[in-house]
Amino acid sequence: MSAATVHPPAEKYRSAPPVQGTRPRQPSARKSVGKGFVIAAVGVWLILVLGPYVVMLLTSLTPQQELLAPGSQVFPENPTFDAYKDLAAGTPFFQFLGNSAMVAFGTVVVSLLAATTTAISLSRFRFRGRQTVLTSLLIAQLFPAVLLVIPLQGELRQFGLLDTIPGLILINTTFATPFAVWLLKGFLDSLPASLDEAARIDGCSAFQMVRYILLPLMKPGLTAAGTYIFIFSWNEFLYALTFTQSNQTHTVPVGLHLFIGEYQIRWDLLTAGGVVAAIPVLLGFMLVQRNLIEGLTAGAVKG
């Protein structure tokens, strides 16, 4: 006699009712408010950042008669490029632009050479006095720039570098290198030490390890440090005003300062010069940003 088979209740295997189409979940009111706040904050930030540049551009296109007229408006009634024509034909501004380019590029080359070698030594090698060097570089950034005007002027006069482009390059290098060293050292510290060990196992000397391993990987850090040095040198005003006395050595900030007279300010020339001076920096930053992204996305170790 066979055992009776017990069947489970039929309700357990009853097919579930078909799932009806569900409506997409609507974003909550809190998320909508947060998104709107972020958009508004970004809009206000863009207005605060780009607003002065827009006003400067509009002012450079305003005729001088409108600028001197009472109750002048931000938007010019009769836009003109006379300020740019006067800037090119009646002032040595483009000579100042060339001087700034020589000073900035010269400072970038000298500072990167000094900062790169120093950062590699401080990050990859251990030697006596290493911490003292790091502390000294940090303390050097704490002194106000105006306190060093008189001693630096005496040194430049003694070595015949006063009112010269090489003199400005050396002065800018002195103040740009410490920060660049700290920046590059921090970047090198983020690279794994196993790369150095692998290079030594493969028979590389210290120089070969730096040349073929570290320098290619330092491209993002070098780009960031070079950008900082260039912008610092391009905008430096105090030492350029103090240590230069002729149009052959004046830089752009000093040249713009010359448009501010004792009884009159040439707002048209001042703003036109500001627009022209900002163009190389913006173009250079766009190129640097692209190279920086390419360097950051490149693999540190290639198989």
Band of pLDDT at residue 27, cut at 50, 70 and 90:
low
| Phi, psi torsion values for 192, nearest 5 degrees | -65, 140
Residue 263 has pLDDT above 80, yes or no: no
pLDDT given for residue 250 in this prediction: 92
Residue 286 has pLDDT above 50, yes or no: yes
Report pLDDT digits (tens) over 97-127.
999 999 999 999 999 999 999 888 888 877 7
C-beta of residue 174 within 8 angstroms of C-beta of residue 143? no
On the CB side of 130, CA atoms within 13 Å amount to 12
Query: What residues pair up with 260 in beta bridges, in sequence order?
Result: 265
SS3 5: coil
pLDDT given for residue 103 in this prediction: 95
Domain ranges within the chain, ordered by starting residue: 52-91+271-298, 98-258
Q: Which CATH number describes the domain made up of 98-258? A: 1.10.3720.10
> Where is average pLDDT lowest: 21-35, 47-61, 187-201, 264-278?
21-35
Residue 303 has pLDDT above 50, yes or no: no
Spatial distance between the Cα atoms of 301 and 303, rounded to a whole number of angstroms: 7
Neighbours of 221 (CB within 10 A): 23
Band of pLDDT at residue 220, cut at 50, 70 and 90:
confident
Residue 225: exposed, middle, or buried by beta-carbon count in 10 A (0-12, 13-18, 19+)? Answer: buried
On the CB side of 241, CA atoms within 13 Å amount to 12
Query: Residues in the chain, how many?
Result: 303
Report pLDDT digits (tens) over 225-262.
888 899 899 999 999 999 988 888 999 999 888 888 76
Band of pLDDT at residue 20, cut at 50, 70 and 90:
low
Does 255 or 199 have the greater pLDDT score? 255
pTM: 0.77
Average pLDDT, the chain: 80
Report pLDDT digits (tens) over 143-194.
787 888 888 888 899 998 998 999 999 999 988 998 888 888 888 888 888 8
Which of 116-120, 197-201, 220-224, 292-296 has the largest mean confidence?
116-120
pLDDT given for residue 17 in this prediction: 56
Residue for token pair 């482009």: 165
